[in-house]
């Protein structure tokens, strides 16, 4: 019995460590980072200060991500938000969990950069748990929203029946208003961190 409890405690350590590593807090400054995208271009979050930024944790091998792209919900949302909003996908999938072609590939209909976070440092800092896991940073660099893209994990509701968390947050910020829902429970596949 003690062995089983000790084993469970050891297995829980990596998850607890990831949760403790998170320093991104809604209402506080979004942690800055610099990552390189699949085309070799470097992106630093603070370079986009003055613009609203959407961060989308992604993994092209995750069925939830695939659904959002195949159904067009992710590209359609990006289009509705317009070019004034910076949209960055971040892939924290460790190479041991997928082949390089999958990690460095894009999603169907994706026209924005995918930043590579192979060691998971940025994902852990933000506490990213799922793909997709969405974050919205306001023009002053404050983390304004963290959670799901919408309120429909199964994708079974009509678009008009879903609460569009990310869209609502960006729309409110663009109008200098208050974000109606600043956090929600993300849904999707677990982020495939290195450990």
Residue 133: give its domain's CATH number: 3.40.30.10
Residue 6 has pLDDT above 50, yes or no: no
In this structure, is residue 148 part of a structural domain?
yes
Q: How far, rounded to the nearest angstrom, does the alpha carbon of residue 4 sit from its chain's CA centroid?
A: 34
Residue 100 has pLDDT above 80, yes or no: no
- Of 2-11, 116-125, 127-136, 186-195, the poorest mean pLDDT is in 2-11
CB 44 within 8 A of CB 33: yes
CB 123 within 8 A of CB 191: yes
In this structure, is residue 33 part of a structural domain?
yes
Q: What is the pLDDT of residues 11-65, one digit of tens each?
A: 333 333 344 456 899 999 999 999 999 999 999 999 999 999 999 999 998 999 9
Q: What is the pLDDT of residue 56?
A: 97
Residue 110 has pLDDT above 90, yes or no: no
Q: How far apart are CA 78 and CA 97, in angstroms?
A: 28
CB 113 within 8 A of CB 101: no
Q: How far apart are CA 164 and CA 120, in angstroms?
A: 27
| Global pTM value | 0.86
Q: Which tokens in the block code for residue 140?
A: 């002053």
More confident residue, 98 or 115: 115
- Give the 3-state secondary structure of residue 58: coil
In this structure, is residue 160 part of a structural domain?
yes
Q: What is the pLDDT of residues 127-177, one digit of tens each?
A: 999 999 999 999 999 999 999 999 999 988 887 889 999 999 999 999 999
In this structure, is residue 162 part of a structural domain?
yes
Q: Which residues of 147-173 are buried (b: 16+ CB within 10 A; e: fewer)?
A: bbbbbbeeeeeeeeebebbbbbbbbbb
In this structure, is residue 80 part of a structural domain?
yes
Q: What is the pLDDT of residue 104?
A: 67
Structural domain range at position 42: 2-190
Q: What is the pLDDT of residue 8?
A: 29
In this structure, is residue 109 part of a structural domain?
yes
In this structure, is residue 18 part of a structural domain?
yes
In this structure, is residue 195 part of a structural domain?
no
State how many domains the chain has.
1
Task: Summarize the confidence of residues 86-96 as an average pLDDT.
Answer: 90
Q: How far, rounded to the nearest angstrom, does the alpha carbon of residue 138 sit from its chain's CA centroid?
A: 15
């Amino acid at each position: 019995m003690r062995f089983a409890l000790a084993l469970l405690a050891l297995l829980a350590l990596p998850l607890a460590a990831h949760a403790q590593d998170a320093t991104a807090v809604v209402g506080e400054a979004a942690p800055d980072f610099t990552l390189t995208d699949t085309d070799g271009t470097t992106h630093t979050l603070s370079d986009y200060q003055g613009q609203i930024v959407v961060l989308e944790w992604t993994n092209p091998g995750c069925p939830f991500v695939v659904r959002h792209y195949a159904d067009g919900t992710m590209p359609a949302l990006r289009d509705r938000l317009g070019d004034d909003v910076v949209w960055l996908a971040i892939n924290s999938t460790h190479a041991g969990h997928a082949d390089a072609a999958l990690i460095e590939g894009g999603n169907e209909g994706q026209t924005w950069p995918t930043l590579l976070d192979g060691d998971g440092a940025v994902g852990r800092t933000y506490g990213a748990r799922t793909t997709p896991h969405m974050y919205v940073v306001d023009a002053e660099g404050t983390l304004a929203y963290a959670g799901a893209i919408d309120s429909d994990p199964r994708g079974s509701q009509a678009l008009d029946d879903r609460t569009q968390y990310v869209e609502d947050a960006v729309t409110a910020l663009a109008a200098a208003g208050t974000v109606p829902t600043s956090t929600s429970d993300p849904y999707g596949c677990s982020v495939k961190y290195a450990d």
